[in-house]
Structures are given as structure tokens and as C-alpha cells.
């Protein structure tokens, strides 16, 4: 099969960007997408791989559209094996029709010709239904290869009752966050302001993103790696100081020990994405009514910068025989008001569709957050995400390098700052190994 070459274009950028070409060790998809004839009265069957519990929304579609039946098959999440399974299915020529793929992983699938060109099937006509920056996550070479599904604008969850009990002001800047962390340590009987999860590189990436760093960008046909930029190292130094003074609990997040600490009040805040609401509600029910949400602390007083943690597309894999039907379903899934409400209930993230907040379940006061219409915070956050942040086709490898380096640093063998400097060279090497042009910025 001829090697497909696509120039990675980030939305409306006018300058040429680096090519994503399948290289020696990266076999392309074994089967190309073809549109099967649509015969009157014949039912089309689609298979959708995802790790998010979307069954209720899909069931609604199947009731409304019995002519296009979608079967949900749950696969392991992302780096827990889900993407490996998808890549294997592409190489074998037996992919599902649709798959949930996070934004950061899309360039890797493009590298192996793994995604269907949706512009060739009318996808561009749907652009106005979506938030612009999320739409651009699936655009490569000026053409659409994935439908945006949801994102994770960042905010600051905090225990209002404990902040008031210990006379701690809600931090508006990261300097105030540090001062609040000192007070929590002094007054909280073993509590910490939050955890530092050495296993979660994507959570950490939100903070240099907010600071204005750009770990990856392009110049002509060359990737520029800038993980050890001044802005990035400034953020690393900040977290190093918190860790050095033992102001944070070092533990993996969203696991049993972390949930126990949240439930017991040993962790009293969480800088996190909008979809974190479902995790708090579902795993710390005894804290109902005690949480509130505000904007992420700022690096400079008076700023209103935000960032994103997570975000997925509904992609149509290369090799489907029903691209038109799959595109119709993917668009409905992510824009239909009834579907969005069901997806919100499933904790899938902040919608990619343009919505009127008050007309959705997201706009309602929530008893868990003391009756706060807390999603107004995330709506504001979403509008202040720096959309210039990009992902490379080796992001999964990069995350592994960061996790390894953070693990060493939090065990006393190095620092977060040193980790960023180390990862810089490793990411350059990873891109070179893919046969791509790259240099340090």
C-alpha cells in the first residue's frame, strides 16, 4: 500500500508544518476505507470501541435510528492497552468502525494512516456545531480526521468547610496557593492542600500549558521540542519547592488511597479538569455539599489563563466500510442535546459542541457543590484555554519518560526541574527514531 503523507496542520495556521509520514517500524493500516453501497431497507451495523460508559447515549441512537445499529465494545483505557489494541486491529485489517481516541494520541494514529479522511465524506460541513479549538484537534493538512467529543478545561476544586475552619483564603495565584499549602500543613492535622501524582504526566502538563509554555511546535517541516523552556522550568521549580517543603502528598491520583484521603479530608483541594466532578461525587459521597469550584490559580495576578487536561475525539478508523453512517452517528453523539445530557451523566468531559449552558444538565445547581452552578467556572475556563498548545506523534512515549523521571524525583533522586531537562533530550530522540525532522528549540 502506498505510504500516505499528511502535513500536520493545526487549524487555520498558514505556515507549513511537519510531515507525519509512516516510517520503517510503523506499518500503515492494512485496509483502506471504502463506502459500501447503501441498499434500501438494509440495516448498517457499526462497532464502536471506547472505555467511557456511553451505552445509554448509544441505546438512544439505536432506538431513534434502527437502520444504523451501533454496538459499543468496551476496551481498556488509552495507554492501559486500548490504543495498542486499536493499532493491532489496523495492521490486521479488522478495525472497528469508530473508536474513542484522545486528542494527544491523534498524531500517532495519523503517523500510521490509521484515520479516515472525513472531509472526503462531508465532515467539513459540520464545523459550525463545534467549539473551534476542539474542532482543530482533529484537523491535519487542512482536512478533518476525527470528530471532537469532549475536553477537560481546568478549575480548582476545594473544601469550602475546611478552608473556612482553618481561615485559609481561596488562592487566586500560585503564590497564594503555596501560602495556603503552608497553612493547611500547620492547621490540618496531617492534611495536605493536594497531592502530587508522579504517575500523571498529563495532569502536570496543564500547568506549563497555563503558563504559556509550548512543549512542541513546528517550523517548516521540522518539529521543535521545548520542554525545558524558561516558562516550563519556572513551573517545575514551583512544584519542586512544594515537594521540598513537604507541602504536598505524593501519591497516584484517582486510586483507592487518593480517594480515601479525599473522603477523610486529608486532601482539601484538587486542581483538575471539569470531568473530575464525577470522580469526587462518586468516590467521596460523604463530602457532599462541602466542595466548591473556582478558577485555576494564576501565575501572574490579574491574569485569566487556563489549560486543559484530557479530551477525546470520536474517530472513524481507516478501513471502515461505512464512513458516511459512522460520521452521521459520531456527529449526533456529540451534538444532540439528549445525547449530551446522557454523556454528561456518564462523566465524559466538557462538550465539544457549542452549547447554551442553561439548556443542559451542566447548567443546573448541584447539591454536591453546595448548590453552586459550578460549571459556569468551567465554561469560563474553556474560553481561556491557550489553543496554541500542540501534541507530537510520540506523546505517549513522552508521558512515559515524564512519569519515570517524576518517580525518581519524588523518591529523592532528582527534581522536577531536572526531569524536564532529561525528558527534553529523550523526546528529541523519540521523534528522530520515527524518521521525523526535529531539533531542540
The alpha carbons of the chain give a radius of gyration, in whole angstroms, of 22
Angle between the N-to-C axes of helices 323-335 and 337-345, in degrees from 0 to 180, rounded to the nearest 10: 70
| pLDDT tens column, 71-100 | 999 999 876 789 999 999 999 999 999 999
Residue 163 pLDDT exceeds 70: yes
Of 380, 381, 375, which is closest to residue 309 (Cα–Cα)? 381
Looking at residue 10, what is its pLDDT?
A: 34
Maximal CA-CA distance, the chain: 72
Name beta bridge partners: 385.
306
Over the chain, what is the mean pLDDT? Answer: 91
> Which CA distances in Å does 73 have to 43, 91, 182?
19, 19, 47
Statement: residue 304 has pLDDT above 90: yes
* Of 31-45, 196-210, 275-289, the least confident: 31-45
Chain segment 321-357, per-residue pLDDT in tens: 999 999 999 999 999 999 999 988 887 789 999 988 8
Cα–Cα distances (Å) from 158 to 197, 198, 280, 370, 440, in that order, read: 17, 21, 11, 12, 38
Q: What is the pLDDT, as a whole number, of residue 23? A: 42
Grid coordinates given for 430: 523519540
pLDDT, position 207: 98
Mean pLDDT in residue range 191-200: 97
pTM above 0.85, yes or no: yes
- Residue 132 or 162, more confident: 162
Residue 218's pLDDT band, with cuts at 50, 70 and 90, is confident
Domains and CATH numbers, the chain: 5-29+41-151+311-364 (3.40.190.10), 165-253+296-307+389-440 (3.40.190.10)
Residue 20 confidence (pLDDT): 57
Amino acid at each position: 500500500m502506498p505510504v500516505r503523507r499528511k502535513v500536520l496542520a493545526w487549524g487555520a495556521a498558514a505556515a507549513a508544518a511537519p510531515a507525519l509520514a509512516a516510517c520503517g517500524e510503523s506499518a500503515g493500516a492494512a485496509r483502506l476505507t471504502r463506502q459500501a453501497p447503501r441498499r434500501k431497507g438494509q440495516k448498517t451495523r457499526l462497532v464502536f470501541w471506547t472505555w467511557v460508559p456511553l451505552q445509554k447515549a448509544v441505546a438512544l441512537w439505536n432506538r431513534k435510528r434502527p437502520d444504523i445499529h451501533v454496538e459499543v465494545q468496551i476496551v481498556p483505557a488509552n495507554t492501559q492497552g486500548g490504543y495498542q489494541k486499536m493499532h493491532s486491529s489496523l495492521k490486521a485489517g479488522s478495525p472497528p468502525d469508530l473508536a474513542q481516541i484522545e486528542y494527544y494520541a491523534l498524531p500517532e494514529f495519523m503517523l500510521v494512516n490509521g484515520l479516515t479522511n472525513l472531509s472526503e465524506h462531508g465532515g467539513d460541513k459540520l464545523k459550525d456545531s463545534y467549539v473551534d479549538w476542539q474542532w482543530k484537534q482533529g484537523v491535519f493538512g487542512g482536512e478533518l480526521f476525527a470528530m471532537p467529543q469532549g475536553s477537560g478545561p481546568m478549575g480548582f476544586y476545594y473544601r469550602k468547610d475546611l478552608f473556612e475552619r482553618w481561615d485559609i483564603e481561596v488562592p487566586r495565584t500560585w503564590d497564594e496557593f503555596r501560602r495556603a499549602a503552608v497553612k493547611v500543613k500547620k492547621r490540618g492535622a496531617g492534611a495536605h492542600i493536594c497531592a502530587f501524582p508522579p504517575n500523571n504526566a498529563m495532569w502536570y502538563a496543564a500547568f506549563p500549558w497555563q503558563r504559556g509554555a509550548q512543549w512542541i511546535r513546528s517550523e517548516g517541516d521540522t518539529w521543535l521540542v521545548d520542554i525545558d523552556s524558561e516558562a516550563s522550568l519556572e513551573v517545575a521549580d514551583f512544584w519542586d519547592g512544594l515537594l521540598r517543603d513537604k507541602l504536598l502528598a505524593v501519591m497516584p491520583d484517582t486510586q483507592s488511597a487518593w480517594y480515601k484521603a479525599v473522603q477523610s479530608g486529608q486532601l482539601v483541594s484538587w486542581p483538575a479538569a471539569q470531568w473530575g466532578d464525577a470522580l469526587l461525587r462518586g468516590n467521596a459521597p460523604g463530602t457532599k455539599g462541602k466542595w466548591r469550584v473556582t478558577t485555576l490559580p494564576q501565575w501572574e495576578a490579574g491574569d485569566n489563563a487556563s489549560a486543559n487536561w484530557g479530551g477525546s475525539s470520536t474517530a472513524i478508523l481507516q478501513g471502515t466500510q461505512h464512513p458516511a453512517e459512522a460520521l452521521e452517528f459520531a456527529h449526533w453523539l456529540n451534538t444532540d442535546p439528549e445525547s449530551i445530557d446522557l454523556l454528561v451523566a456518564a462523566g465524559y468531559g466538557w462538550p465539544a459542541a457549542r452549547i447554551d449552558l442553561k439548556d443542559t444538565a451542566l447548567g443546573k445547581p448541584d447539591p454536591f457543590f453546595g448548590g453552586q452552578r459550578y460549571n459556569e467556572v468551567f465554561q469560563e475556563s474553556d474560553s481561556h484555554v491557550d489553543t496554541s498548545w500542540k501534541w507530537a506523534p510520540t506523546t505517549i512515549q513522552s508521558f512515559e519518560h515524564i512519569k519515570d523521571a517524576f518517580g525518581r524525583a519524588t523518591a529523592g533522586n532528582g527534581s522536577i526541574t531536572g526531569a524536564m531537562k532529561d525528558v527534553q533530550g529523550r523526546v528529541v530522540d523519540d521523534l528522530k527514531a520515527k524518521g521525523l525532522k526535529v531539533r531542540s528549540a
